[in-house]
Copies of this chain bind each other. A is one copy, B any other.
Amino acid sequence: MLSVDGVWSALSTVRSRQPLVHNITNYVVMNNTANALLAVGASPAMVHAVEEVEEFVRISQALVVNIGTLSPAWVESMVRAGDTAKVHGIPWVLDPVGVGATRLRSAAAADLIRRGPAVIRGNASEIRTLAGLVDSAGKGVDSAHGSEAAVDAARALARETGAAVAVTGVVDYVTDGERVAAIANGHRLMACVTGMGCTATALVGAFAAVERDFLAAAASALAVLGVAGEVAAGRAQGPGSFQMHLLDALYGLDRETLVARARLS
């Protein structure tokens, strides 16, 4: 369903339009995700204060909300930013990091999901928790399930919320409740670097800024990240050099490499 031409076109549009992507994200990954956004050609900003998020969302082309390092004050900002984005037709993406691990996380995710995200991106445990299929106490922020185990949950969640739902893992799946796209790219080293899921979510934000078929936007971002991850892994000696090569690979990704490597269905 997803064509490599569509992925390349979306990446080219991100590079030419340089969308301003407003992130309210966790402390751990702010630097990586800003660099990943710059590497694909987007213009990242991290702005979190309740006193300014509404103003800032309005000048942005997309919003990314990630609940990795949460506090009630930040949840309030996330909710207001999501509401503002919705009202102004600015697509926003939710990353429900560690949902189910604590009541604060579950309450925040439930509250945010009602604000109409365009895309929800999580690992299998998170998406299953969100869909109410499991009452996970879980394994912290890393997934205990394979992504394929969450496709039904993702489909149900997409139908319920109207969002495109992406479950990332060895194979990534994106569904709008009807269609399901699968991306079989990436490399096991990606699980050895912190914030790779958060990076995926940030890139989905950049692509949603330029492509209003949000399933296509999310799948394109995941394909770009997965292919860049394979290129980087081919050059890396371990997770440290992988992280460096990943930014270089995102920055330098060309059509030929994308066509040769993308495994879409």
Contacts and interface: CB of A to CB of B under 8 A. Distances in A.
Given A45-B141, A239-B248, A240-B243, A102 B194 contact: no
A248 B252 contact: no
A125 B245 CA distance: 32
A239 B31 contact: no
Given A98-B45, A141-B45, A238-B252, A31 B29 contact: yes
Interface stretch (A52-60, A85-93, A114-122, A145-153): A52-60
Given A45-B140, A49-B70, A194-B34, A237 B248 contact: yes
B38 A193 contact: yes
Interface stretch (A20-28, A173-181, A254-262): A20-28
B244 A55 contact: no
Contact of A71 (B22, B35, B51, B55): B51
Contacts of A238: 39, 247-252
Interface in A190-245: 192-195, 236-241, 243-245
A193 B238 CA distance: 19
Contacts of A22: 140
Contacts of A102: 47, 51-52, 55-56
Given A31-B29, A59-B101, A194-B34, A241 B239 contact: no
A215 B34 CA distance: 31
Interface of A: 20, 22, 26-32, 34-35, 38-39, 43-49, 51-52, 55-56, 59-60, 68-72, 98, 101-105, 137-142, 192-195, 236-241, 243-252
17 contacts: A26-B46, A28-B31, A34-B195, A35-B193, A39-B192, A39-B239, A51-B103, A52-B70, A52-B105, A56-B140, A192-B251, A238-B251, A238-B252, A239-B247, A240-B243, A240-B248, A241-B248
